[in-house]
């Protein structure tokens, strides 16, 4: 048996799925459970990770 090739070209939404929102700054931030709390400069610091692209940010609570 040979490989089965797709007959149609993938749409733009399928090719760039999940990337366009993050490129324009609309991340989907989720609290990173591997490092929930960190003490920095006497304040509580939480680490967030984008579930689509994997970018991280730290927020002081």
Model pLDDT, residue 36: 66
Residue 8 lies in a domain: no
Model pLDDT, residue 32: 86
Model pLDDT, residue 2: 82
Q: Which pLDDT tens digits describe the chain residue by residue (61 residues)?
A: 788 877 888 888 787 776 778 888 899 999 988 766 667 677 778 889 998 888 999 887 7
Taking the C-alpha atoms of residue 32 and residue 55, their distance in angstroms, rounded to an integer, is 11
Residue 50 lies in a domain: yes
The total of structural domains in the chain comes to 1
Taking the C-alpha atoms of residue 6 and residue 34, their distance in angstroms, rounded to an integer, is 40
Model pLDDT, residue 30: 94
Residue 56 lies in a domain: yes
Say if residues 47 and 32 touch (Cβ distance below 8 Å): yes
Residue 47 lies in a domain: yes
Residue 48 lies in a domain: yes
Residue 34 lies in a domain: yes
Structural domain including 42 reads 26-60
Residue 55 lies in a domain: yes
Taking the C-alpha atoms of residue 15 and residue 53, their distance in angstroms, rounded to an integer, is 15
Taking the C-alpha atoms of residue 39 and residue 19, their distance in angstroms, rounded to an integer, is 32
């Amino acid at each position: 048996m040979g490989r089965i090739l797709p007959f149609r070209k993938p749409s733009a939404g399928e090719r760039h799925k999940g990337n366009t929102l993050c490129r324009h700054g609309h991340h989907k931030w989720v609290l990173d459970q591997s490092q929930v709390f960190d003490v920095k400069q006497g304040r509580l610091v939480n680490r967030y990770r984008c579930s689509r692209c994997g970018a991280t940010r730290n927020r002081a609570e």
